[in-house]
Every structure is written in structure tokens, then in C-alpha cells.
């Protein structure tokens, strides 16, 4: 069996790697081709080109790179057509992946599976019907998503999120990390400014100003910054001179598995987190770490999105838990003062998010079958079932 797998950013790399591991367990003879990051490469993928080239977010941010991204899209679709895999699995990054899927479907009958249902419940509901013209099956992370996809004519399987399968970090490991990094018993604020150059450049000054306010109010506070590999140098330079004696965790030295484990230990060791909007909120929920979510973007992008969004929160913990426990500061609201106030409130009473974090993990499948295995099983079942 041959599977062509495409991911365009670190969160997709993680999802795809878990799926690939599940496929290998269920079908040991599987071979992989495609585009992916270090976790997918650890599962045996040789990436067609560096995944980081696709990690661009925001309407205005994409425009300068449109021609290059289009060339990569055509290159990827042509590689799929040449490989003639049993299945093409595209993972998140819909602006790129679904264009590849559309081009492949126009020229072949290769089965196409898209992993991560588009947020049609949040904005642009017409995307589901558009997808159905060239996608056979969708793997959904959230339990309320299948009806939206099925109504458009696609098979949709809720498979949960791989984050729920990760073992809990024990107290000894947390203590060990704190001691190794010289954090002692100080309150620790975790800073997660994203994995893309554009968002890191935009968010770090805001996050830095918020951190300065927190440290001014709580001088014993320490700052821990797990950097994504594509922006590790940018993050290290950006936090230099921040108060709180920041410690940057660079994932490029250790193996992917070691880097992932150290990141999870950092999540568990933190008292609170300030994070860019995205799936990282689920990783923090898995670690039981209360959080504040903040995100700023190009003014044009914000002006367009604010008129399209159909929900009052974008934080996945809030959506899955059906609460608004996690404070979020988006666009013009992404300001140091309100962000620092929310962090200080959480430091004073971190228990206020406990119920929402627990509910999120339960509803995403914690305690059930490994989501990567569930995703793999759904892919294989879809292949066996065939059209319709």
C-alpha cells in the first residue's frame, strides 16, 4: 500500500505522524510519500520540499508568496499523479491542500481523504459543499463536526485528537525540568508565539510587553519559551532582554521525539501560558495548564475575517468544552495591558479553568482508542468501502 501524505505546518505534521504510525500498525507494508515535517519524516517520509515553505497564514500575508505557493501546489499535485498512490491524505492547511486535491481529482480517481474538517460551523459554510466535489472522506477532530460534512455528501469520521493519547507527565519529570533549567519553585509563565515567522514577528513585542507587566507585579516570575524549529532563532533574538530571565527551548538539537517530550514537560511545568491562537490550546489543556490566548494579524486580514466569523470565540478549548473559560484577545484587542491582567488573574487562581480543560479532553476522546489509530482505521475502512 502506498499513501501520499501532505501537511503544511507543525500541527499538521503532528496529526499526520500519528496517522502514519497508526497505518503502519494496521498495515505494516505501507509506504509513504509526500510533504511533511520532522515528525512525519521520523515515520519514514522523505519530504518533497521543506514543509516550512507552506507555513503562511493570513490573507494579506499569503499574497506576496502566492506565485511560489502555486508552483509548489502544482509540483505536489503532479507528484501525486506520478506516484498513483492508493490514497492521498491531505492534513489541515486547506488553502494549499485542497487545491492539490482539486487538481488531483480533475485528473484521476485516486481516493482523497482530508484530515481536519474545515471550520464551516465558524465561517464560510459553503466550503463543505465545495470540498465534496474533490474529497471523498473527512477525518474530524471535533465531535460536533461530522454532520456538517455528511450534509455536503462526504463520509466523515470523528477520530479525536492525538493530544488525548499522550501519557501524563509525572511530577518527577516536571521537577527535573525545573531543576535543569534553573526555574526552582518560581511561578512560570509559558510563552508560545506561534510557528510562523509572520506571527512571531507580530506577536513577540506584544507578548514581551505583557510579560513585563506580569513580572513587575510578580517579580519572582520566570518565563519559559518553547520555540518551534522554523522560528527558533527569531524567538531567541526576540525575547533577549525580556524580564523574567527567559529560557528558550530550541527543538533543533535533540531528536524529534526528545524535543517533543521536552516541550510537553515544559507545558506541564508551567503555571500559566500565553499562546497564539491555534491547536496549541489543546496541548495546554492536555497538560492541565491554564492559558490566555492572543493573536494579532494584518489589519486587512482582520477586517475581512471579523465580518465572516460566525462564532464568538476561536479558542478550541472554549468551543469543545462549550464554555468561555479561556480569555482571548484577538486583533485590536491583542494589547499588553488586558493580556497581562488576565495572566495575573490566572496566576492568582489557576483552578478557574480546570473544568473546561477536563471537559475538553474527555470530549476529544481521552481514555479511548489512540486517535492516530482511529484515523488510520477510518482511512483503511474507507478504502475498502470504496465510492459512496
Q: Are 81 and 107 in contact (CB under 8 A)?
A: yes
pLDDT, average across residues 115-132:
84
Q: Radius of gyration (Cα) for the chain, nearest Å?
A: 20
Single out the residue of 386, 382, 388 nearest to residue 19, CA to CA: 382
Residue 63 or 110, more confident: 110
List all residues 6 or more positions away from 364 whose beta carbon is below 8 Å from its beta carbon. Answer: 141, 142, 143, 160, 161, 163, 164, 282, 320, 371
Question: Cell 516570575 identifies what position?
Answer: 221
CA distances (Å), 305 to each of 164, 193, 216, 299, 300, in order?
30, 20, 35, 10, 9
Q: Are 249 and 269 in contact (CB under 8 A)?
A: no
CA distances (Å), 300 to each of 59, 303, 336, in order?
8, 5, 21
pLDDT, average across residues 191-213:
95
- Predicted local distance difference test score (pLDDT) of residue 59: 44
- Predicted local distance difference test score (pLDDT) of residue 388: 52
Q: What is the pLDDT of residues 331-371, one digit of tens each?
A: 999 999 999 999 999 999 999 999 999 999 999 989 889 99
Give the residues across from 330 on adjacent strands: 295
Single out the residue of 305, 307, 323, 303 nearest to residue 315, CA to CA: 323
Q: How far is CA 258 from its chain centroid?
A: 19
The count of other CB atoms within 10 Å of the CB of residue 63 is 12
Please tell me the distance from the alpha carbon of residue 153 to that of residue 351, in angstroms, as a whole number.
43
- Predicted local distance difference test score (pLDDT) of residue 252: 87
pLDDT band of 163, cuts 50, 70, 90: confident
pLDDT band of 167, cuts 50, 70, 90: confident
Q: How many residues would you count in the chain?
A: 388
- Predicted local distance difference test score (pLDDT) of residue 255: 82
Pairing of strands 137-140, 111-115: parallel
83 burial (CB, 10 Å; 0-12 / 13-18 / 19+) is: middle
Question: Cell 512525519 identifies what position?
Answer: 40
The count of other CB atoms within 10 Å of the CB of residue 317 is 25
Residue 206 or 57, more confident: 206
Q: What is the pLDDT of residues 362-386, one digit of tens each?
A: 999 898 899 999 999 999 999 998 7
- Predicted local distance difference test score (pLDDT) of residue 192: 97
Please tell me the distance from the alpha carbon of residue 25 to that of residue 4, in angstroms, as a whole number.
17
Best mean pLDDT range from 19-33, 119-133, 162-176, 256-270: 19-33
Please tell me the distance from the alpha carbon of residue 152 to that of residue 154, in angstroms, as a whole number.
6
User: Could you tell me the three cell numbers for 336?
Assistant: 499588553
Single out the residue of 65, 98, 67, 101 nearest to residue 81, CA to CA: 101
Amino acid at each position: 500500500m502506498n499513501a501520499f501524505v501532505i501537511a503544511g505546518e507543525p500541527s499538521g505534521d503532528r496529526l499526520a505522524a500519528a496517522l502514519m504510525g497508526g497505518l503502519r500498525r494496521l498495515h505494516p507494508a505501507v509506504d509513504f510519500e509526500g510533504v511533511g515535517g520532522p515528525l512525519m519524516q521520523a515515520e519514514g517520509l522523505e519530504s518533497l520540499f521543506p514543509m516550512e515553505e507552506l507555513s503562511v497564514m493570513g490573507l494579506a500575508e499569503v499574497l506576496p508568496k502566492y506565485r511560489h505557493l502555486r508552483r509548489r501546489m502544482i509540483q505536489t499535485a503532479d507528484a501525486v499523479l506520478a506516484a498513483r498512490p492508493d490514497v492521498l491524505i491531505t492534513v489541515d492547511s486547506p488553502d494549499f491542500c485542497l487545491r492539490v486535491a482539486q487538481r488531483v481529482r480533475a485528473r484521476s480517481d485516486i481516493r482523497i481523504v482530508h484530515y481536519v474538517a474545515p471550520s464551516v460551523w465558524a465561517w464560510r459554510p459553503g466550503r463543505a459543499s465545495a470540498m465534496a466535489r474533490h474529497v471523498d472522506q473527512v477525518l474530524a477532530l471535533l465531535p460536533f463536526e461530522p454532520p456538517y460534512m455528511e450534509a455536503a455528501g462526504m463520509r466523515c469520521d470523528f477520530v479525536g485528537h492525538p493530544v488525548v493519547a499522550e501519557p501524563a507527565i509525572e511530577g518527577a519529570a516536571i521537577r527535573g525540568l525545573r531543576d535543569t533549567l534553573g526555574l526552582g519553585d518560581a511561578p512560570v509563565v509559558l510563552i508560545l508565539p506561534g510557528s510562523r515567522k509572520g506571527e512571531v514577528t507580530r506577536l513577540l513585542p506584544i507578548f514581551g510587553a505583557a510579560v513585563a507587566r506580569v513580572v513587575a507585579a510578580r517579580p519572582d516570575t520566570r518565563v519559559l519559551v518553547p520555540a518551534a524549529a522554523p522560528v527558533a532563532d527569531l524567538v531567541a533574538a526576540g525575547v533577549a532582554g525580556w524580564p523574567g530571565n527567559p529560557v528558550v527551548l530550541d527543538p533543533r538539537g535533540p531528536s524529534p521525539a526528545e524535543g517533543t517530550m521536552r516541550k510537553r514537560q515544559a507545558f506541564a511545568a508551567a503555571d500559566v501560558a500565553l499562546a497564539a491562537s491555534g491547536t496549541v490550546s489543546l496541548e495546554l489543556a492536555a497538560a492541565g495548564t491554564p492559558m490566555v490566548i492572543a493573536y494579532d494579524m494584518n489589519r486587512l486580514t482582520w477586517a475581512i475575517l471579523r465580518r465572516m466569523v460566525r462564532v464568538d470565540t476561536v479558542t478550541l478549548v472554549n468551543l469543545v468544552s462549550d464554555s468561555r473559560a479561556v480569555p482571548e484577545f484577538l486583533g485590536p484587542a491583542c494589547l499588553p495591558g488586558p493580556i497581562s491582567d488576565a495572566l495575573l488573574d490566572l496566576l492568582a487562581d489557576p483552578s478557574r479553568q480546570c473544568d473546561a480543560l477536563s471537559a475538553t479532553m474527555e470530549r476529544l476522546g481521552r481514555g479511548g482508542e489512540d486517535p492516530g489509530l482511529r484515523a488510520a482505521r477510518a482511512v483503511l475502512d474507507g478504502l475498502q468501502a470504496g465510492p459512496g
